[in-house]
Chains A and B, each alone.
Chain A
């Protein structure tokens, strides 16, 4: 069993050190949380999005209207609610007071000096060799956050039109998904999207949840509002299904990296691999419908988690481009294969770091930040070429199972052509005894 001690990020003001955390039941816990004790009669704004089953950015869609589109309603709502929480002093620090710069060089890595993010928390032990672990209601999870940390409910509209209710009853029967603040933001507007929060799903991608995240990116309609996902073992610190998102109006190095098309799916999703980037990864774009794109990516993610490969996902360009990185940093770290020099920076290479946005904790590292250093760190995150090919082989098999792939010449690729892998998918984690559940 591989374990690591890490200082977990405090995402909620109700997140205590594990030892202080005790299960509470019934009667109202007095902090107005989202659990059964307090949810009765609770009201939160509700944003219902229009379900478009079309390609994002297809010609003729509203976003291709004549002028630069105005700030979308979802954008306004999110920014307004977030600024409101900032003025109410709910965050641990003012992230806009943190210095940020673009590191000189070819790739334009972005560095932020954030000295406040990692204070006041004891290191916690994490199990890093299991991507799927069962939900543990005794550990911190998002039902324990205070309602003031929740910005709004986010769901598909029933009648196909965008709707907004400033004061909607939280209907537990309706499996509400919510958007909450991260009280340790790494940029302005840093939020968490928690699909079907009350169902207490573990950190694990499924088709519906991924489509919800994609809808959020498309609805915000801002290419600089990106969503990210970290699996367990790839620096997720809370085992309760969530995506992260924030605003940063600068292109990420990953978005500028050249790509090479490998194949496309029957649903029209183009799959490419990244070139000239320290982390090997796949890029998914296009697709006849948003659902096609979503299904292809979520099938790939599910395949990775079933094969126990930790991974990170970046949803960029209003949901038009999705980056997927299988990674092995935590495993290397736990096996003692990462140099102390890199470990000393305490940078955890999760989705944002891999995409090229580095949050540094020490002034020294910030001042000395160079493209070389960033590259060196990220190179450690990447799978080897050999392993990457192996992993791609089972991803392409998984995608082909749901809809066949075409090769570059446009011919259909039969399943037999795809390399069979020897190890069958790992069985789902069932028992709890052997698992050290992540907090």
Chain B
């Protein structure tokens, strides 16, 4: 299971960008991470050297983890919610955020998030997150208001002023392994000591224009590397959505929500020809032995085989036609042709308009003891997946989906 995740993480990056992309990104001085919303847990798939240095972690300690590990008790909850919302809406954002290094010291940084789109189908492939530590203010800049300002206006400003001068100074300040950078980190530490004594760290800290521009510069450079290196794999990425996501493509936020459900299940789309699978959980892939791209886009019938009961299949078909839930016991086949009894529950799932958008199929392998955790009976386990899927689909189809880009 762990090795599968590691493979997914490696693959998430390697299948998109040519092999030297890592090296080029590592040469950038900036602190940033790249995450993949389609992998369960929305993990970090790449962390820059600058990032590891600022946060004090080793690469292995952060790759595969969710960005939440850098938050702590004093991190403003509203800011966390705003980041969650930007991810949900698949749009860029900048926000001042209190993060924690490995040794537990909190520090303020400017966080800039940007989605990376697939040029081909408009899907969000990755999110890039740039972290610019907010340097110690000359005079106390802690604002007592507690109001966190954020928004697109900051980015505009950055675009305009971002000339050569800015570019130069950014490089000088952040470039890793230079004495200047070291002193900057030291200065950062000293302000941390100061502020952790008083109430300061709790209050909001505003990034300066310089820092906002620094984040913009970093984002632009990262995108130019990613775009360039995606050309070599033929799977182009871009910073702006070029096409609306095609049929059968789930939003990254729905992927993230579904990824939290650990049981075996698939989502099928009855509005597409032949009702293909549009989502398959990791547990489903483990149960059946298929890889994700071998099942996405295919009808579930590949699970049936020579001894599958025809009347059971008919029963499933009928319940789908009448949009009713049903539970059956059906003989299914794995990729390696071995068979298993599948205690299957199927239910329609409605979107925010109240229309049936998907069917969810939940599989429980009969006689498989290790699934019997938590003491919930199989029927309850079926229904808890259905419930979680219904909540995710209904909520994440509210509004126009990705509203801004």
The answer on a CB contact under 8 Å between B41 and A317 is: no
Chain B residues in the interface with A (C-beta under 8 A)? 40-43, 64-66, 68-69, 71-74, 77-78, 81-82, 84-85, 100, 104, 144-148, 198-199, 202-203, 256-257, 259-262, 325, 347, 349-350, 352-354, 374-377, 379-384, 386-388, 390-392, 394-396, 398-399
Q: How far is the CA of A84 from the CA of B374 in the complex (A)?
A: 18
The answer on a CB contact under 8 Å between A96 and B395 is: no
Q: How far is the CA of A83 from the CA of B388 in the complex (A)?
A: 9
Known A71-B388, A97-B354, A164-B374: A84·B395 in contact at CB below 8 Å: no
Q: How far is the CA of A98 from the CA of B146 in the complex (A)?
A: 38
The answer on a CB contact under 8 Å between B394 and A79 is: no
The answer on a CB contact under 8 Å between A68 and B100 is: no
Q: Does A371 contact B (CB under 8 A)?
A: no
A370 to chain B minimum Cβ distance, whole angstroms, is: 15
Known A75-B388, A96-B394, A272-B146: A256·B82 in contact at CB below 8 Å: yes
Question: Can you list, as one digit per residue, whether each of A120-151 has a CB less than 8 Å from chain B (1) or not (0)?
Answer: 00000000000000000000000000000000
The answer on a CB contact under 8 Å between B66 and A66 is: yes
- Cβ-defined partner of A80 (8 Å) among B66, B74, B354, B387: B387
In the complex, identify which listed stretch (A205-213, A245-253, A382-390) lies at the interface while the others stay far away.
A245-253
Interface-central residue, A80, A224, A320, by most chain B CB under 10 Å:
A80
Known A68-B68, A258-B148: A110·B398 in contact at CB below 8 Å: yes
> Closest A-chain residue to B374, C-beta based?
A73
A196 to chain B minimum Cβ distance, whole angstroms, is: 25
22 A–B contacts, CB within 8 A, in A order: A64-B68, A68-B40, A70-B260, A71-B260, A71-B384, A76-B374, A76-B384, A76-B388, A79-B391, A80-B384, A83-B347, A83-B390, A87-B383, A96-B390, A96-B394, A99-B352, A102-B398, A164-B375, A224-B395, A250-B398, A256-B81, A261-B146
Q: How far is the CA of A260 from the CA of B76 in the complex (A)?
A: 12
- Cβ-defined partner of A59 (8 Å) among B100, B395, B399: B100
Residues of B within 8 A of A432 (CB): none
B336 to chain A minimum Cβ distance, whole angstroms, is: 27
The answer on a CB contact under 8 Å between B198 and A81 is: no
Interface size counted on chain A using CB atoms at 8 A: 61
Q: How far is the CA of A408 from the CA of B202 in the complex (A)?
A: 11
Residues of A within 8 A of B390 (CB): 83, 96, 188
The answer on a CB contact under 8 Å between A55 and B73 is: yes
Q: Does A421 contact B (CB under 8 A)?
A: no
Q: How far is the CA of A75 from the CA of B347 in the complex (A)?
A: 19
B43 to chain A minimum Cβ distance, whole angstroms, is: 6
A116 to chain B minimum Cβ distance, whole angstroms, is: 12
> Closest A-chain residue to B348, C-beta based?
A96
The answer on a CB contact under 8 Å between B262 and A101 is: no
The answer on a CB contact under 8 Å between A68 and B377 is: no
Residues of B within 8 A of A97 (CB): 350, 354
> Closest B-chain residue to A55, C-beta based?
B73
- Cβ-defined partner of A188 (8 Å) among B198, B379, B382, B387: B387
> Closest A-chain residue to B377, C-beta based?
A166
Residues of A within 8 A of B71 (CB): 64
Residues of B within 8 A of A250 (CB): 395, 398
Considering the complex of A and B, which 9 residue pairs feature the smallest CB-CB distances, nearest first? A79-B387, A249-B395, A80-B384, A67-B41, A102-B399, A83-B383, A76-B384, A261-B146, A80-B380
The answer on a CB contact under 8 Å between B261 and A70 is: yes
> Closest B-chain residue to A111, C-beta based?
B398
The answer on a CB contact under 8 Å between B352 and A71 is: no
Given A96-B390, A164-B375, A256-B81, 13 further pairs, Cβ under 8 A = A58-B72, A64-B72, A75-B384, A77-B380, A81-B383, A100-B398, A188-B387, A188-B390, A248-B395, A260-B145, A260-B146, A261-B144, A285-B77
The answer on a CB contact under 8 Å between B395 and A67 is: no
- Cβ-defined partner of B257 (8 Å) among A65, A249, A256, A321: A249
- Cβ-defined partner of B78 (8 Å) among A164, A166, A259: A259
The answer on a CB contact under 8 Å between B380 and A64 is: no
Q: How far is the CA of A155 from the CA of B199 in the complex (A)?
A: 37
- Cβ-defined partner of B262 (8 Å) among A71, A83, A255, A260: A71
Q: How far is the CA of A52 from the CA of B152 in the complex (A)?
A: 40
Residues of A within 8 A of B394 (CB): 96, 100, 188
Q: How far is the CA of A367 from the CA of B203 in the complex (A)?
A: 42
The answer on a CB contact under 8 Å between B262 and A251 is: no
Q: Does A403 contact B (CB under 8 A)?
A: no
The answer on a CB contact under 8 Å between A275 and B147 is: yes
The answer on a CB contact under 8 Å between B396 and A251 is: no
Residues of B within 8 A of A410 (CB): 198-199
Chain A 226-254 residues near chain B, CB threshold 8 A: 247-251
Known A69-B260, A70-B260, A73-B374: A247·B81 in contact at CB below 8 Å: no
A135 to chain B minimum Cβ distance, whole angstroms, is: 33
Q: How far is the CA of A113 from the CA of B242 in the complex (A)?
A: 34
> Closest B-chain residue to A321, C-beta based?
B77
Q: Does A356 contact B (CB under 8 A)?
A: no
- Cβ-defined partner of A249 (8 Å) among B148, B353, B382, B392: B392
Residues of A within 8 A of B81 (CB): 223, 251, 255-256, 317
Q: Does A325 contact B (CB under 8 A)?
A: no
Residues of B within 8 A of A99 (CB): 352-354
Q: How far is the CA of A188 from the CA of B396 in the complex (A)?
A: 13
- Cβ-defined partner of A79 (8 Å) among B146, B353, B384: B384
The answer on a CB contact under 8 Å between A82 and B387 is: yes
B173 to chain A minimum Cβ distance, whole angstroms, is: 29
